[in-house]
């Protein structure tokens, strides 16, 4: 299948999750909903974002992780688990089942994105530099 038609298929398959966008990245693509990536597409295989509980469910379905092996750089040859597992075969032709898995993956992706978000710093009160403040009732000398 050509990339564009496979990307259309992924959008249709997960339509029950919400509006899905597919964006190319590196050698594959990612599917996004509500501002987070919840699907990884590599070699026309669909992988969904997981946490430990979802890994256990997918493992029981006979699925496994997507493992990336960099070909160059300091981590060349290393096997890296990116936190995505293959979607069960039974969901590939069943949009209702795919939406169930997709909603679980989206919840995981949102929780992980929220956990990574840095806390906003509290605004401190502005301090006037010494020697710059005007005394009450007096004009500053120039």
Domain boundaries of the chain, sorted by first residue: 3-116
Q: How far apart are CA 58 and CA 43, in angstroms?
A: 19
Q: How far apart are CA 45 and CA 28, in angstroms?
A: 10
Q: How far apart are CA 7 and CA 30, in angstroms?
A: 9
Q: How far apart are CA 91 and CA 60, in angstroms?
A: 14
Would the pTM of this model clear 0.85, i.e. be above it? no
Q: Minimal CA–CA distance to 106: which of 34, 44, 55, 47?
A: 34
Which CATH number among 3.90.1150.10, 3.20.20.70, 3.30.1460.30, 3.40.640.10 corresponds to the domain 3-116? 3.30.1460.30
Dihedral sign (CA 125, 130, 134, 140): negative
pLDDT tens-digit profile of 15-57?
999 999 999 988 899 999 999 999 999 999 999 999 999 999 9
Res 79: pLDDT: 86
């Amino acid at each position: 299948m050509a990339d564009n038609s496979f990307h259309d298929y992924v959008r249709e398959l997960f339509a029950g999750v919400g509006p899905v966008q597919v964006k190319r990245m590196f050698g594959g693509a990612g599917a996004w909903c509500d501002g987070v990536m919840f699907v990884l597409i590599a070699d026309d295989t669909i992988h969904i974002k997981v946490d430990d509980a979802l890994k256990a469910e997918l493992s029981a379905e006979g699925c496994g992780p997507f493992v990336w092996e960099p070909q160059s750089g300091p981590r060349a040859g290393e096997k890296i688990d990116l936190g995505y597992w293959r979607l069960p075969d039974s969901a590939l032709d069943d949009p209702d089942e795919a939406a169930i898995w997709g909603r679980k993956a989206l919840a995981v992706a949102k929780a992980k994105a929220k956990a990574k978000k840095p806390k906003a710093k509290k605004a401190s009160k502005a301090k006037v530099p010494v020697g710059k403040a005007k005394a009450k009732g007096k004009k500053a000398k120039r």
